[in-house]
Amino acid sequence: MKEFVHRGQITKVVFGSGTRRRIPEEVDALGCRRVLVLCTPDQVDQAAEIRDLLGAAAAGTFAGAVPHTPVEVTQEAVARAGSVGADSVLAVGGGSTIGLGKAITARTGLPQLALPTTYAGSEMTPILGETEGRIKTTRRLAEVLPRTVVYDVELTRTLPAPVSVVSGINAMAHAVEALYAQDQDPVALLMAGESLDALARSLPLIARRPDDAEARADALYGAWLAGTCLGTVGMALHHKVCHVLGGAFGLPHAETHTVVLPHVIAYNAPAAGEAMARITRALPGDDPANALFDLAGRLGAPRALRDLGMPASGIERAAELVVRDGYWNPRPVDRSAVHAFLTRAWAGERP
Ligand code: NAD
């Protein structure tokens, strides 16, 4: 057996259906008494329910979370936390809201709890991405990991089917890159494979019936595992490409992951045979890149970067940015090959 290092996580995870009702006891277990509830403007109703559950322990709601964690929004939220005397924050939402919670924790030290409602997985990672001006930077800070994550399957049932599909494929991307991570360990490999199995079987069911409770539970379970992979092992070319496209062209997060992933799988396939075999176990087919491309097509997900608003003129610059910094990838990253697969991804062609 190969040598390995495995990093365990400090986050307490509560998983189930209706588990949001356990939020008051989880807040209490952390010794917190005044919780600022965070959400996006779209999720004020879900946040209001949690606020009611908290009763006297609710210090207020900040409903201004937006994608990419702009520092101006964080500053406003930090000021709110101060003015209401909050001793903790509770993010009710997806990666945008959880990102805001992390940014508040990074500045104030307030502990965060999270109730994730998408499959993005931010709640299980120490990664904090923030935007200032038009520049997005990312850092790893152990202290921004939520102390407690409560997964309540019921809260995910309102996530519209198209958003669920792309969010689920976003989670699959974490699992795929964990399978060939440079610092992979046996536990991360098990989690990644199990995550892909759960997401591959549940997403088609959710696309047909978004309120299928069993499928929702399976998908959230897969998303938790994928998020844990993202938080514990290093990512590679796929995450780099998506970071570049999101930052340089403002492309939507989960949709970008969905379009790019089959192309990066095809690129890395010759150098990551075992990873490809594991993806094929979850997504049977002649080759894993096409199996994923076909899955996205069957589920009505976007498959072309041009449909996400990327200009054709941006391909050149994106390829340049993708190869600019050195980072590990199972196959050396070659500029002309990146340019070629970005061109196919832009047009929506097969990987
Ligand atoms: P999001 O949080 O922006 O949510 C997308 C939209 O769906 C929002 O309007 C939200 O209010 C709505 N929504 C969420 N859950 C819902 C539900 N159950 N019912 C109805 N509507 C719901 O999107 P996301 O894809 O979860 O997160 C994307 C952001 O998270 C990006 O900024 C990305 O960079 C970041 N992210 C960070 C990490 C990390 O480790 N730091 C990991 C993944 C994503």
- pLDDT tens for each residue of 215-265: 999 999 999 999 999 999 999 999 999 999 998 999 999 999 999 999 999
Alpha-carbon gap, residue 189 to 178, rounded angstroms: 7
DSSP calls for 216-245: HHHHHHHHHHHHHHHHHS---HHHHHHHHH
Q: Mean pLDDT throughout 63-78?
A: 96
DSSP bridge pairs for 16:
152
92 alpha carbon – ligand 1 mean position (Å): 10
167 close to ligand 1 (CB < 6 Angstrom):
yes
Burial (Cβ within 10 Å: 0-12, 13-18, ≥19) of residue 22: middle
Phi, psi for 21 (deg, rounded to 5): -65, -15
Output the furthest CA–CA distance in the chain (Å, rounded): 59
Phi, psi for 210 (deg, rounded to 5): -60, -20
Alpha-carbon gap, residue 191 to 95, rounded angstroms: 20
pLDDT digits (tens, 9 = 90+) for 9-51: 889 999 999 999 999 999 999 999 999 999 999 999 999 999 9
Q: Output the CA torsion sign for 37, 219, 246, 7.
A: positive
Residue among 96, 51, 49 nearest 74 (CA): 96
216 close to ligand 1 (CB < 6 Angstrom):
no
256 close to ligand 1 (CB < 6 Angstrom):
no
Q: Mean pLDDT throughout 324-339?
A: 95
Domain covering 161-347 in this structure, CATH number: 1.20.1090.10
What are the structural domain ranges in the chain? 12-156, 161-347
Phi, psi for 137 (deg, rounded to 5): -120, 155
- Whether the Cβ atoms of residue 120 and residue 227 lie closer than 8 Å to each other: yes
- Whether the Cβ atoms of residue 98 and residue 91 lie closer than 8 Å to each other: yes
94 alpha carbon – ligand 1 mean position (Å): 3
- Contacts for 264 with CB less than 8 Å, ≥ 6 apart: 237, 238, 241, 341
49 alpha carbon – ligand 1 mean position (Å): 19
Write down the architecture of domain 12-156 according to CATH. Answer: 3-Layer(aba) Sandwich (3.40)
CA-closest residue to ligand 1 atom 30: 95
CA-closest residue to ligand 1 atom 35: 95
Q: Report which ligand 1 atom has the smallest distance to the Cα of 155.
A: 18
Count Cα neighbours of 322 within 13 Å in the Cβ-side half-sphere: 29
Percent of the chain topping pLDDT 70: 100
pLDDT at 136 over 90: no
120 close to ligand 1 (CB < 6 Angstrom):
yes
20-24, 65-69, 171-175: segment of lowest average pLDDT: 65-69
The chain-wide mean pLDDT, for the chain, equals 97
Write the single-letter amino acid at 166: V
Would the pTM count as exceeding 0.90? yes
108 alpha carbon – ligand 1 mean position (Å): 23
CA-closest residue to ligand 1 atom 21: 159
CA-closest residue to ligand 1 atom 34: 68
99 close to ligand 1 (CB < 6 Angstrom):
yes
Mutate to test the pocket of ligand 1, among 20, 245, 253 (most ligand atoms within 8 A of CB): 253
182 alpha carbon – ligand 1 mean position (Å): 27
Backbone dihedral region for residue 136 (phi beyond 0: left; psi -120 to 50: alpha; all else: beta):
beta
- Contacts for 163 with CB less than 8 Å, ≥ 6 apart: 118, 254
pLDDT for 10 equals 87
- Contacts for 133 with CB less than 8 Å, ≥ 6 apart: none
Confidence of residue 186 (pLDDT cuts 50, 70, 90): very high
Alpha-carbon gap, residue 153 to 20, rounded angstroms: 9
19-33, 127-141, 316-330: segment of lowest average pLDDT: 127-141
335 alpha carbon – ligand 1 mean position (Å): 31
Strand 127-132 and strand 135-140: the pairing is antiparallel
252 close to ligand 1 (CB < 6 Angstrom):
no
Backbone dihedral region for residue 44 (phi beyond 0: left; psi -120 to 50: alpha; all else: beta):
alpha
64 close to ligand 1 (CB < 6 Angstrom):
no
